[in-house]
Structure 1
Amino acid sequence: MRTVRAVVALLLVLLPATIGTAGANPPKPFVWTTVWATSAHQPSKAFVANWAESGFTNHTVRQVVRVSDGGLTTRVRLTNRYGTTPLAVAGATIARSAADGAIDPDSVQNLTVGLAPSFRIAPGADLVTDPAMLSLAPLESVTITLYLAEPTGPATQHAQSFATTYRANGDHRADATAAAFTETSQSWYYLTGVEVANVAPPRSALVAFGDSITEGVGSTRNSDNRYPDELAERLAAAGIPRAVLNEGIGGNRVTVDSSWLGDSARTRFRHDVLDQPGVGTVIILEGTNDIGLSSGVTAVDTVVDVSPEQLITTYRDLIAQARAAGLRVLGATLPPFGDSPYFNDAAENKRLAVNEWIRTAGEYDSIVDLDAALADPTDPHRLAPAYDSGDHLHPNDAGYRTMAATVDLTDIR
């Protein structure tokens, strides 16, 4: 029965846009939109200890994500972008999430590729599964479980997920409980997106593109309190739910590619923003690490001195790419980082220069002034204490809610 459902779903979403019957109201086509995403990067030891460098052998990996919008049928995007050998997926499932790694057994669907239950992903490649007959509601949690029987080698990952991933020995892809999943980490592996199909025209998605402040460092784990999550909740509460995609990487820089901290914003912008199905708007919040790491405050990566002019040149390139793709581009000012290891007079002068350009150049379609929203009124070089996670660089949950509240919803296409 599930195979029949999968075939029906595949046929439905592959119907060409011109199909229909004569008359005034021909059927509308299905259109895919990404409703959850994360940025993949290299396996490394940056920030957290996890399973990325050792990879998996005869392991089942269970990952829980919350989608920001809903749809009629669902498919999953997987990646072996930084792998050096083919990734063999012996089997995979998707299901509605229950508590603590458990799943709703009545919702379990096999994930297939070309209707095959096992498949391989070539080194450097991504793929999208066949549609699964699983409808999703806005802000619903879904669980993707991969059985990796063969040795994978080092795993393409997103290191800082702030969500629990579960691992079991052997094949437990359809287990309703999490009893076999005795190991956990706080990273995602091989998983980069969840997409849904809706009748055209669907609601367009927004990409939050940035570094650890977009990623959610400082937020409460397993609580979906990152600023893109908070923005998705705000849109849903306003009666205009839409996908908000978190494409932040901790330590990421605008101008510098890194084997530790991910490809630069300049390198990954096309894949993480322009190639996402259904995107209409992007918010760019990045540059803090270029400034902070210019002064040599790093234990994990190469120091490269970056000027405000270099950042602005790259911002202009990203704006041009987004506009050419038909996207609306919002520029976020860089929040204060006084008292953090990044802070010194030279770094602060660079931050102020970049923010002045963002506010006054008129090159973005609109501005999200996070600097003004998060700054301490008595010392604008610092985060307000109520918004500081404690490291004087990353906001806490209240800070992320304030960031989401600062976005003018009418600026979103």
Structure 2
Amino acid sequence: MAAIRYARLVAAGLLLFAVPAAAQSNREAWIDAYQSSPADYDFVIPKEMKLPPETRERLRDRPPVTGTLRMRIAVAAGGREVRIRLTNEDGTAPLTIAAASVGLAATGFDARPGTLHKLSFGGADRVTIAPGAPVLSDPVELSVQVLGDLVVSVHIPQGLKLKGFGNAAMAMGEGDQTLSPALSGADTIIGRPPVSGVMVRGANPPRVIVALGDSITDGNRPALGQLHGWPERLQQRIAASPKRPALAVINAGIGGNRVLSTSWGKAALARFDRDVARIRGVSHVILFEGINDIGNGGSSTMFGTNPPLDVNDLIAGYRQIIARAHAANIKAVMGTLTPFQGATSYSEAREVQRQAVNRWIRTSGEPDAVIDFDKAVRDPAVPLKLRPDYDSGDHIHPSEAGYRAMGDSIDLALFR
């Protein structure tokens, strides 16, 4: 009898330990499921720069916008609650949001009827965001799926300066239409969205991969329905994988961004903590950046006259990002720089620098893993160029087929 009582006590003790373990496996947690890194663009298009008229018109400087601004956003993780992150981090004056909402997306910028929820901030419908600061909304009960689309609307009564180089398509309507499923009299405009992030809360949250890069990474596109770069293609592959690895990919790309210098958005070295290390659930960063450091060293149409780039300085910048990632318990994966022969920023001397950087990425052993994007998109017949069907036409940015090839080239085993 004593042995039986002892066995029962042992079983009960094991049960006490087993219940928390089971509960932990189904735990709920907040993670970041979308990002658009804040960026300012202090830049005027030079008259001598060759751009199609429609592109020049899209990128021209515009007066501040007022009314309801609506963004369509794809999230990389699912959950039952969401929180929206708004930004004034690159602003120089307070930004007032008089009302805001979130809902499930229908067609275009329309919200699915019955899904719109008013957002609050510390219980208030209205919030003023200080210059240099973000603001996080209160949680909203809204069930979202992996790769599901949300529409987020903000009513801006006093005007917001949007830079065309932000490259995201948004809808703009007059007055407060934040709770209207369809915006009345809306125009499509291009700019950097004031929504900088979405957090979701759900059971068994995935690990997060952050893609840190420039325009070849940036997920903002000037038209709905376009592939949001290679990070979105990577997320599609993860979602479609038979093994369904618990991974979510968010995009921290900024068009024109550089590793060492601030101009189009803060330098990668300056924004690493904000755009990578602070992310909830991050386990890996994919660093794919440096072609703008190379292409704009010395004289440049886009950036004027700059000091010539020393490749050793760029490699030192990479080493610093790797070190800071490791200090935050984040694995650092690096992508080789893709070809750009034929682009306005190309020169033979700059090609020598790209080759030196890629040689270091491939052979140094300092990144935790390497993705050979160069090999994935280069022309086998002319390796210094993008493959013709992977070239968007400017000889530096990939076409949608090129972005797809980049996303398809990534071994998912790197993130196990």
* Structure 1 CA distance for aligned equivalents of residues 312 and 301 of structure 2: 22
CA contact (8 A) 1:102 1:178 kept: yes
Match of 1:276 in 2: 279
> Measured at CA, do residues 231 and 132 of structure 1 come closer, stay the same or move farther in structure 2, by a change above 3 Å?
same
* Structure 1 CA distance for aligned equivalents of residues 337 and 222 of structure 2: 18
2:258 aligned to 246, 253, 258, which one? 253
1:25 aligned to 13, 19, 41, which one? 19
* Structure 2 CA distance for aligned equivalents of residues 407 and 125 of structure 1: 35
In the superposition, the TM-score normalised over structure 2's length comes to 0.87
Name structure 1 gaps, 5 residues minimum: 1-21
1:37 aligned to 35, 38, 48, which one? 35
> Measured at CA, do residues 90 and 218 of structure 1 come closer, stay the same or move farther in structure 2, by a change above 3 Å?
closer
* Structure 1 CA distance for aligned equivalents of residues 136 and 43 of structure 2: 28
1:170 aligned to 169, 175, 182, which one? 175
Paired AA for residue 137 in structure 1: Q
Match of 2:138 in 1: 130
Q: Secondary structure at the match of 1:383?
A: coil
> Measured at CA, do residues 153 and 95 of structure 1 come closer, stay the same or move farther in structure 2, by a change above 3 Å?
closer
Structure 1 residue 191 corresponds to structure 2 residue 195? yes
Paired AA for residue 308 in structure 2: D
Name structure 2 gaps, 5 residues minimum: 1-15, 46-55
* Structure 2 CA distance for aligned equivalents of residues 98 and 360 of structure 1: 47
CA contact (8 A) 1:219 1:395 kept: no
Number of residue pairs matched by the alignment? 384
Paired AA for residue 75 in structure 1: R
Paired AA for residue 83 in structure 1: G
* Structure 2 CA distance for aligned equivalents of residues 223 and 214 of structure 1: 13
Q: Secondary structure at the match of 1:245?
A: strand
Match of 2:51 in 1: none
> Measured at CA, do residues 178 and 275 of structure 1 come closer, stay the same or move farther in structure 2, by a change above 3 Å?
same
Structure 1 residue 294 corresponds to structure 2 residue 297? yes
CA contact (8 A) 1:228 1:245 kept: yes
Structure 1 residue 242 corresponds to structure 2 residue 247? yes
> Measured at CA, do residues 229 and 109 of structure 1 come closer, stay the same or move farther in structure 2, by a change above 3 Å?
same
Q: Secondary structure at the match of 1:186?
A: strand
1:221 to partner: Cα distance: 4.9
Q: Secondary structure at the match of 2:376?
A: helix
* Structure 1 CA distance for aligned equivalents of residues 94 and 221 of structure 2: 35
Question: Which of the pair has more CA radius of gyration?
Answer: 2
Paired AA for residue 41 in structure 1: A
1:307 to partner: Cα distance: 1.5
* Structure 2 CA distance for aligned equivalents of residues 62 and 189 of structure 1: 9
Structure 1 residue 78 corresponds to structure 2 residue 86? yes
> Measured at CA, do residues 174 and 218 of structure 1 come closer, stay the same or move farther in structure 2, by a change above 3 Å?
closer
In the superposition, the TM-score normalised over structure 1's length comes to 0.87
Match of 2:380 in 1: 377
* Structure 2 CA distance for aligned equivalents of residues 195 and 360 of structure 1: 37
Q: Deviations over 1:119-162 (max 9, x none)?
A: 1111111111111111110111100000112x14535897122x
Structure 1 residue 406 corresponds to structure 2 residue 409? yes
* Structure 2 CA distance for aligned equivalents of residues 56 and 297 of structure 1: 31
CA contact (8 A) 1:213 1:394 kept: yes
* Structure 2 CA distance for aligned equivalents of residues 220 and 230 of structure 1: 17
Match of 1:315 in 2: 318
* Structure 2 CA distance for aligned equivalents of residues 315 and 43 of structure 1: 23
> Measured at CA, do residues 374 and 153 of structure 1 come closer, stay the same or move farther in structure 2, by a change above 3 Å?
closer
Match of 2:110 in 1: 102
Pairwise CA RMSD: 2.2
* Structure 2 CA distance for aligned equivalents of residues 44 and 217 of structure 1: 18
1:173 to partner: Cα distance: 0.5
1:118 to partner: Cα distance: 1.2
CA contact (8 A) 2:164 2:190 kept: no
* Structure 1 CA distance for aligned equivalents of residues 191 and 199 of structure 2: 20
CA contact (8 A) 2:342 2:385 kept: yes
Match of 1:362 in 2: 365
CA contact (8 A) 1:40 1:158 kept: no
Identity, in percent, stands at 35
